Structure 1
Amino acid sequence: MAGVNRPLRVLVVDDDALVRAGLSMMLDGVHGIRVVGEAADGDEVPAAADAHRPDVVLMDLRMPRVDGITATGRLRRRANPPEVIVLTTFDADENILRALRAGASGFLLKDTPPAQIVQAVRQVAAGDPILSPRITRRLMERAAGQAGAYERARAALAVLSPREGEVVVAVARGRSNAEIAAELRMTVATVKAHVSHVLDKLDLDNRTQIALLAHDAGLV
């Protein structure tokens, strides 16, 4: 996570040089954000992450040697991993769901307006996931329809306290920590503590995975 006195550090990963150049040029022109490196394939990501210490990685899904799903999983298993936003051209691509389960903090379509990409980078760096309503609805419906998903999700969530369950539902609805605090009449610090406990109890990596589990369980 970026400190108060330095910009958010972003690593751009895409096999298309024009896409990398466009994203880098756009983000480098924004106050408080700095593109610290680029990678052309998923197999270059570990070395790039070590060299540049990014806070956020913009990750393409389809690359020739190591795809974005595999690269995301490898990153998220590291100590103090960066947040990952996956990028895709196809809003119905089932690999997006796999990328979220691998630990990505969210996803964007490559035709997303620049201002929304900037907001997405800031949002995931602050600990809030990017859940595009149009795409997420389709993914959640597919996830909920998988055989046994409902029962498994319900069983997993049964370990949570009632208050933690309320936080899970709010997270699944895309609420920020501040919004959850207002809705449930608690402090932001308490919300963060509940989210942390939920992640630990359910052995999950991020809020996006909480949202997926809640949708599997039919809570939203």
Structure 2
Amino acid sequence: MLTIITSPKGGSGVSVCAAAIAGAANAVLVDLDGDQPALLGTSPDATSTTVAQWMAPTPPPKVAEPGTLITRGDSNLDPGDADGWTRCARRLDALAMPVVVDAGCSTVPTALTGIPHQIFAVLRPCYLALHRWYRQGHHCTGVIVVDEPGRALGVDDVVRCVGAPLVAHVRWDPAIARAVDAGLLGVRRPAALAVLDALATRAL
């Protein structure tokens, strides 16, 4: 099962949620956005595989294991490379383990939605984010609301706009930002992210 984490607007918390879900599920984490190494405090080594290698005609040089991070790398990932994304999707689908995709706020390649999948949208109660979601005609399996104080909109407003069930309500916590800024999210997960553990089970 492919679990795709996305958002219509940057800064919503997609990479944090993707890392938390993948970590709890011991899943392969596919980083289409490019932020995961810095967020997790890791440095890709010579044996790491990149998304471009999973898209290539020849199989990637290293077999993915539970907990593996497939990095974005330095390549320009062409969303229009239908053959490459189809190869990537088939290889990910063949893995006998859960896979979480950090899609950021980019368009999810069509091939990735052609295999068994679920899409979770990460949204804050932000008018601009909701307006962009509605205008761009996105769809998802469920919505993760990152709730922050001082907003005029609430969780129910987000759910009504998206038209999908609420699957997690993450309350704003400065400890999350501190862990991200320190590159420690992979080793010191803030308690506020524990609400995402249930989604790790759904990713299996």
TM-score range, shorter chain: 0.3 to 0.5
In terms of fraction of residues, the more helix-rich structure is 1
Q: Normalising by structure 1, what TM-score?
A: 0.31
Q: Normalising by structure 2, what TM-score?
A: 0.33
Structure showing greater radius of gyration is 1
Higher relative CO (Cα under 8 Å, sequence separation at least 6) belongs to: 2
